[in-house]
Amino acid sequence: MSHKTTWHTQCFTEYDLSQAVSILKKGELLGIPTETVYGLAANALDASAVEKIFQVKARPSDNPLILHVAHCDWMLRYSQNIPEMVWDLADKFWPGPLTFVLDAKEQIPMTVTAGLPTVGLRCPNHPLTLALIQEADIPLAAPSGNLSGKPSPTTAKAMFEDMAGKIPAILDGGACSVGVESTILAFGETPYLLRAGGISVEEIESVIGKKVLLGKNGFHDKLEKNDQPPLAPGMKYRHYAPKAPVTAVLGENSSQWIAQYIQKEEGVICFQEYQSLFDGYPHQVIGKEKDFTTQAKQIFSALRYFDQTNVTHIWAQCPEEKGLGLAVANRLQKAAGASIISATSAYVREKR
């Protein structure tokens, strides 16, 4: 079968756009740049092409894919019962890192929606990928372009590390400008957050003039209670994990906590202000403590960096959970699994 084909994975630039379109039209997979992270794209209307995404990523089949469209009008092609506030949000934030979960129209293959009656739609803000979708005139189903469970790729090179030999080509559009995945919103009586991402909850609330419903711990955990399947199925899996185990440390004293407990051969993800505490340990600086925008850009490459080292454990300072900090903190906590420590009250938070 073609998913077992070993490809000589090519790196395309903007000059190869027509070749990129033809790969998609042939039902093969293509790495695409977006402003959030690189995606592993297929023609969303071709069920057997979409199937290859799950095989190549080793992705559980109950985890649905986001449909990437070229314009907000395309929402009408693939979804129905669109709430008024979605148009307002699309007006303000599209193209951009915001995904809407809406009632799906019938022509969307079950492999895309994982059998749910809804579909996630987003218009990515990257000129090459927008041109590609326009030119192909098909929506692209695309998860992040990492192997399942690994940190998302924010450069073509990082995607190549995971996908070399597995797909025909990656379209190189440079480093991702946002660096964390899109925010995912679903709509009941009130809108609710399924994943914190590149557009902050505060920004969304300022457009719709309403509160966005969050879980008790800031996001999505309410969806995992009462035996209900989580509404964003992907959020239940361990994610973003480098080879070495990660401990996320929250709170104002996180740097001192880490400096006190760090052992030889352990690594650190830290804020710029505290870098000097970790001289002599392998470390990655993700930006200043309050600069969530820079942290978002750096977080996945920082996590990936440690796979090239021999560290036995990674300590990570976790930002405050506001603005884009919520998305960065979520990625670190998912990478840490159950290993989350509050440096202020010194108790270990239970696994969510």
CB of 29 to Mg ion, least distance (A): 15
Window contacting ligand TXA (CB under 6 A); options: 42-50, 180-188, 293-301, 331-339: 180-188
Q: Which does 34 bind (CB under 5 to 8 A by kind): Mg ion, ligand TXA, none?
A: ligand TXA
Contact indicator for 151, 242 with CB cutoff of 8 Å:
yes
Contacts of 280 (CB under 8 A, 6+ apart): none
Q: Does 144 bind Mg ion (CB under 5 A)?
A: yes
Cβ–Cβ under 8 Å, residues 141 and 27: no
> Which run of H or of E encompasses 303?
helix 292-305
Member of 43, 79, 118, 154 binding ligand TXA (CB under 6 A): 118
Cβ-based neighbours of 223, under 8 Å, separated by 6 or more: 194, 215, 230, 231, 232, 235
- Could you say which of ligand TXA, Mg ion, none residue 319 binds, taking C-beta under 5 to 8 angstroms by partner kind? none
Smallest gap from residue 22 Cβ to Mg ion (A): 26
Is 328 among the residues that bind ligand TXA (CB under 6 A)? no
* Residue 36 found at the interface with Mg ion (CB under 5 A): no
Q: For residue 183, give every residue at least 6 positions away whose Cβ sits within 8 Å of its Cβ, in sequence order, or none.
A: 97, 98, 99, 193, 195, 196, 197, 198, 199, 200, 201, 204, 327
Shortest gap between Cβ of 332 and ligand TXA (angstroms)? 16
Question: By CB under 5 A, how many residues form the interface with Mg ion?
Answer: 1
Are the C-beta atoms of residues 167 and 31 closer than 8 Å to each other?
yes
Q: Which does 63 bind (CB under 5 to 8 A by kind): ligand TXA, Mg ion, none?
A: ligand TXA
292 vs 300, beta carbon nearer Mg ion: 300
For the CB of residue 57, give the shortest distance to ligand TXA in the complex, in Å: 9
Name the strand (E) or helix (H) holding 305. helix 292-305
| Closer Cβ to Mg ion, 57 or 283, answer by number | 57
- Give the interface with Mg ion as residue ranges (CB under 5 A): 144
